[in-house]
Amino acid sequence: MRKKIIAGNWKMNMTPSEAKDLIGLLKDGCNTDNSDVVFIVPSIDVTTAAECLKGTQIKLGTQNFYFEDKGAFTGEISAKMILDAGGEYVIIGHSERRTIFKEDDAMINKKLKKAHAEGLKPILCCGESLSLREDGTYKAFIEEQIKSAFEGVSEEEAKNTVIAYEPIWAIGTGKTATADEAEEVCKMIRDCIKAIYSEDAGETIRIQYGGSVNGSNAKELFEKPDIDGGLVGGASLKDDFIKIVNYKA
Ligand code: PGA
């Protein structure tokens, strides 16, 4: 039985002081018995957030890092910095990083390998644009994203990766994929991992859905057999996130 993983991607929201308030609002309400719950915060909030989350089972992560150890990479942070500050997870290849910051598949592959090498738990994002959805080539596109991200990644590392399927047309738009649409692609991704590695790897890896998840649609999505939780943007910044985490209640 795969444990669900529900992560809030705060994106570029919340100063450290605001992070304190938001964590204060959310932490007691989130039931961590059945799911891993992760707050993915701006890097500058990690130290404050780690302090605020002490004594809870809620885990912490950041939204990006760079694959080098240290040096002349102005503006970047390393895996070791995140871990030392109390972070445990990192998002890799979010569509906003791919489109706005021009991260390509080769960089995403390097980041995935480096995260594993350093013991940082990656949440690898994939997903198609509206035009690929409409012209029907989205499955082949996502398969390519997965194959290239996992190039040179061992089976053990693959099992410890979380994949987030996030159709770009559903991110921040209020237009959620239907539970059947999300399930179709999450199952296809699982089959792809089985084909690359093994039946066991495919059954072990956790695959989230992301894109306008909220307190009203979480249950239907998360109850699908191949959807192991969600990556939540907008709704992770308010108490609706508690409803999402406690979707069974
Ligand atoms: P959203 O964002 O929930 O606001 O659609 C999801 C994401 O981009 O991770």
Query: Ligand 1 test: best mutation among 38, 126, 165, 171, most atoms within 8 Å of CB?
Result: 171
Predicted confidence at residue 174, as pLDDT, reads 83
pLDDT at 101: 97
- Whether the per-residue pLDDT at 159 is higher than 90: the answer is yes
Residue 219: CB partners within 8 Å, gap ≥ 6? 247, 248
Stretch 196-206: mean pLDDT: 98
Query: Is residue 182 a contact partner of residue 219, using CB atoms and an 8 Å limit?
Result: no
Mean pLDDT of 171-197: 95
CA distance 179 to 133: 16
Average pLDDT of the segment spanning 171-192? 94
Rounded to the nearest angstrom, the distance between the alpha carbon of 64 and the centre of ligand 1 is 15
Report how far ligand 1's centroid is from the alpha carbon of 233 (Å).
4
What number does the ligand 1 atom closest to the CA of 236 have? 3
Per-residue pLDDT at 156: 98
Nearest-CA residue for ligand 1 atom 6 is 233
Residue 94 has pLDDT above 90, yes or no: yes
From 6, 9, 125, mutation site for ligand 1 pocket: most ligand atoms within 8 A of C-beta: 9
Instruction: Tell me the CA–centroid distance for residue 120 and ligand 1, in Å.
Output: 22
For residue 26, what pLDDT band results from cuts at 50, 70 and 90? very high
Phi, psi angles (nearest 5°) of residue 230: -145, 155
What would the mean pLDDT of 162-173 be, rounded to a whole number? 95
Give nearest CA residue, ligand 1 atom 2: 233
Q: How far is the CA of 90 from the centre of ligand 1 (A)?
A: 15
Any idea how long the chain is?
249
Average pLDDT across the chain, whole number = 97
Check whether 173 has a pLDDT greater than 90: no
Ligand 1 shell residues, CB under 6 Å: 9, 166, 171-172, 210-213, 231-235
210 Cβ contact partners less than 8 Å away, ≥ 6 residues apart:
9, 125, 127, 164, 165, 166, 170, 171, 230, 231, 232, 233
Which residue of 90, 96, 232, 244 sits with most ligand 1 atoms within 8 Å of its CB, as the best mutation to test the pocket? 232
Note the pLDDT of residue 144: 98
Tell me the whole-structure pTM to 2 decimals.
Answer: 0.97
Q: Which residue's CA lies nearest to atom 1 of ligand 1? A: 233
**pLDDT greater than 90 at residue 169:** yes
pLDDT of residue 1: 86
- pLDDT exceeds cutoff 90 at 133: yes
Q: Calculate mean pLDDT across residues 228-236.
A: 98
Q: Is the pLDDT reported for residue 123 higher than 90?
A: yes
The arithmetic mean of pLDDT across residues 141-164, rounded, is 98
Residue 175 has pLDDT above 90, yes or no: no
For the purposes of burial, counting CB atoms within 10 Å of the CB of 47, is it exposed (0-12), middle (13-18) or buried (19 or more)? middle
What positions carry a catalytic annotation?
A: 94, 166
